[in-house]
Amino acid sequence: MSTLKSVLQEIKTELMEKNKVREDSHESMRKATSLSKQAILRIHQKKYDEAEKLMAEAKEKISSLQKMTEECPEIIYGGMFSAALQEYSEANIFYTLVKESRFVTAKELNVPSVDYVLGLADAIGEYRRLALDALREGDVEKGEECLATMDEIFTELLALDEAYMLVPGLRHKSDIARRIIESTRGDITLEVRRKALEDQLKKFEPPNGPNAKPRKNNS
């Protein structure tokens, strides 16, 4: 016959094991999130090989956590893991769009649909940064292409209709995305007008450039 002490000792052992799993899993979640963020930064820096390595490391962490869900689903499936999956999705969506001009799927990434959708919404912000970098380099056309991608993502997310309401947090992210898109549209419009004015002014410059000195009349 079990004593109360032995019963509680067994429970204590179980709880301590779960606590160890919780600590390890949370560390893996933090690491996966950090790796994905670093990958996004490398993509912006055009260091694609480094981005691939970082995403591969993040994938290992995610896969390990997914295997742990069978034993401790109540620990693994929580806000922190969802955040890691969203960041991982965002990094892969952004990378595949930049390198292959296509949208990677949730199935390819082996992530839940909800986390994929939320990561997709966040990718709009990364495209604003791409657009601003393009404008700084004087490449208005690329900036407009970035804006078109942002519009496409936003429009298709809204087209989810009833399913839109089944993704917690999507409305908030969409509100942010709308503001980001409008700000980007404004930035591109200003740059297009500035460039048009600059081109117009060039027509009135002297043949040898704006600093050319008028010739002296020797007669």
Q: What is the pLDDT of residues 41-80, one digit of tens each?
A: 999 999 999 999 999 999 999 999 888 877 777 666 667 8
pLDDT band at 219 (very low <50, low <70, confident <90, very high): very low
Confidence (pTM): 0.83
Q: Which of 67, 88, 110 is the last residue of a domain?
A: 110
Same domain, 82 and 139: no
From the CB of residue 66, how many other CB atoms can be counted at a distance below 10 Å? 14
Q: What is the pLDDT of residue 93?
A: 98
1 within some domain: no
Same domain, 72 and 143: no
Query: Is residue 106 a contact partner of residue 113, using CB atoms and an 8 Å limit?
Result: yes
84 within some domain: yes
Range of the domain at 162: 112-202
Q: Which of 77, 110, 143 is the last residue of a domain?
A: 110
pLDDT band at 209 (very low <50, low <70, confident <90, very high): low
Same domain, 174 and 119: yes
As for how many domains the chain has, the answer is 2
Same domain, 124 and 50: no
Mean pLDDT within 171-175: 94
Mean pLDDT within 6-16: 83
Same domain, 145 and 101: no
207 within some domain: no
213 within some domain: no
Cα 45 to Cα 64, 92, 98, distances in angstroms: 29, 15, 12
Same domain, 140 and 120: yes
pLDDT at 179 over 80: yes
Q: Assign residue 132 the CATH number of its domain.
A: 1.20.58.2140
Same domain, 94 and 126: no
Q: For the chain, what percent of residues have pLDDT higher than 70?
A: 90
71 within some domain: yes
